[in-house]
A and B are shown apart, each in its own frame.
Chain A
Amino acid sequence: MSEIHITSVKNPGPLKVPARTNQILFGLGAVGIIAFLAGLRVDAPRAWSAWLLGYAFFLFWGLCGLFFTALHHATGAMWSTVVRRISEGMASYLPVAAVLFLVLLMGSGKLYAWAHPETAHIEPPLGTGKLGYLNIVFFSVRNLILLGIWVLFALILIKNSLKQDETGDARLSQKSAKLSVVFFPVFGITFTLAVFDTIMSLEPHWYSTIFGVYCFAGLFQSGMAFLAILAIWLKRRGALEGIFNANHLQDIGNFMFAFAVFSAYIGFSQYMLIWYGNMPEETFYLIKRKVWPWGYIFLSVVFLRFFIPFFMLMGRDGKRSEKVMLTAAAIIILGEFLDLYLLIGPVISPQKPVFGWMELGTFLGFAGVFGWTVFRFLGKHSVLAHRDPHLLASVNWKQ
């Protein structure tokens, strides 16, 4: 073995975010605001639909950061110590997401049929019975509480981690572990409620109890893809040089591979039960999304999220290659984007997909805000949890 056992790691310090990167991210944010505001004047429901798409996509990445951080603490994982600060950076987006949700609330009347039951075709008994639950006031209160819970968990976990950077106190890790164990059942319930509200209730007649798990599968798969891209980027810039290596990359690849299978498993479970039962109140949702030209997107999602990453990441060598991982990550992220687009888009345009400057611009705006938040976090704090008790075990991780 030519590699030496590493016995000490220098604190790489905060990331020096290039001015160029910040300019690009600001530019994207500005494009987003312009596209969204212009969109509101042209076609308000479409603009709000684009807003929801961007909001959900990046909320998922923020939650993935929180979930991964909690997973690391709760399982006592060692290998992931070197990338934990990145996932904390992703989680630092959650307070921003809460603000962006307040904007979404302004458009809920345009977006959700249940918000104006007198004009929309909300048919009894399926529709009207739900109005006690689906109304603007309860919807707003409920979702703000859910976001509040996530923000609280994220802030405490981040605070413990940053404090450990200064004190090196191992008890902080134990505290975070205890909190993380509590987080998982809470997350299961809160996330299911949140996606039922924000995405599933776009079609208030339709329901699927597995919908929360389905969204979670995409959340984790695409979040890991982003984590892989960012970690490779940081390594190439030198911030994680000599710290992040192929062994860690392979583990992230394992997650991406596993969740390619998991998301296909969950997606198929939902699909097959609806197909087999053949009940009109359930099948209409899938038929709308399976008939051409929406069907092209349906099929693309199956390939981009399952078949292609499945075969790309099956072997050991693929997961250890930065090139293969970057390609697979891009494919998975595109698949997740199309998947969310497929859940949200057909509501305002059931006949054919509409995708133009409004959708693209708004989405890029969200990307700019998300990227700016993550980089601001990494630019303020060390990119490595450099006094974590598991750090050396993580740096020397082999497989």
Chain B
Amino acid sequence: MAKAVTGAVVGIFDDPQTLLKAGKAARERGFKNLDAYMPYFVHGINEALGLKRSWVPWATLLAGVTGGSLGFLFQAWTSAVDWPLNVGGKPFVSWPAFIPITFETTVLFAGVTTLLALFAACRLPQRNPKILDSRVTDDHFALVVPITGTGAEEERFLKDAGALDVKKV
């Protein structure tokens, strides 16, 4: 039975390499649900913190398949079922003619859904986001370690790992 998270300590670093090392050490130490805040993407951070792959691509795939199918069925329905229309003497549901629009609806659904899924995954938009430290939007890096007890152990760990600044939030 995991202990309830009562808060978190944040370590501020000024070097991405130190952040990566600290993140890796924190995970090896057994700290769970680590997170990092950075002014730009630091390669290797996902592996260092053991972050899982995003679910957004699956939403894209699902929406693409849905959009493509609906686009195709809609064209077939309008041209052959609801109001059968003979175009150029071709048989009903001459599928090659539907492909361009099927392609477009696939892209439209997949694209718009990706954007919405991204917002959902990042819990955006937020009205009053809690700002950990304004320096992480400039030239510093933050490692967030959730705490289950007093947090003393985590604080000591971050200081030892080379954090310039450690605070409890």
Contacts and interface: CB of A to CB of B under 8 A. Distances in A.
Interface of A: 1-3, 5, 268, 271-272, 275-276, 278, 315-316, 398-399
Given A1-B20, A1-B24, A278-B88, A272 B44 contact: no
A87 B140 CA distance: 41
B44 A1 contact: yes
B99 A398 contact: no
Given A315-B57, A399-B43, 9 more contacts: A1-B24, A1-B43, A1-B44, A2-B47, A5-B17, A268-B99, A271-B96, A272-B99, A276-B97
Interface residues of B, number: 15
Given A1-B20, A1-B24, A276 B47 contact: no
B44 A275 contact: no
A276 B96 contact: yes
B96 A3 contact: no
B136 interface: no
Contacts of A3: 44
A399 B17 CA distance: 17
Contacts, number: 28
Contacts of B97: 272, 276
A1 B99 contact: no
A3 B20 CA distance: 11
Nearest to A272: B96
Contacts of A2: 24, 47
Most chain-B Cβ atoms within 10 A of its Cβ — which of A3, A276, A278, A399?
A276
A-B pairs with lowest CB-CB distance, top 3: A1-B44, A398-B43, A1-B20
B48 interface: yes
Nearest to A399: B43
A5 B100 CA distance: 46
Nearest to A273: B96
9 contacts: A1-B48, A2-B24, A3-B44, A268-B99, A272-B97, A275-B96, A276-B97, A315-B57, A316-B53
Contacts of B20: 1
Interface string B7-40: 0000000000100100010000000000000000
Contacts of B47: 1-2
Contacts of A278: 88
A271 B96 CA distance: 9
Contacts of B57: 315
Most chain-A Cβ atoms within 10 A of its Cβ — which of B47, B57, B88, B96?
B96
Contacts of B96: 268, 271-272, 275-276
Interface in B92-113: 96-97, 99-100
Interface in B70-96: 88, 96
A5 B20 CA distance: 12
A271 B88 CA distance: 17
A316 B57 CA distance: 10
A398 B43 CA distance: 7
Interface string B42-67: 01110110000100010000000000
B44 A398 contact: yes
A398 to B, nearest CB: 4
B23 to A, nearest CB: 9
A265 to B, nearest CB: 8
Nearest to A278: B88
A275 B97 CA distance: 9
Contacts of B88: 276, 278
B25 to A, nearest CB: 12
A216 B35 CA distance: 46
A209 to B, nearest CB: 18
B16 to A, nearest CB: 10
A173 B99 CA distance: 44
A316 B46 CA distance: 15
Contacts of B44: 1, 3, 398
Nearest to A269: B100
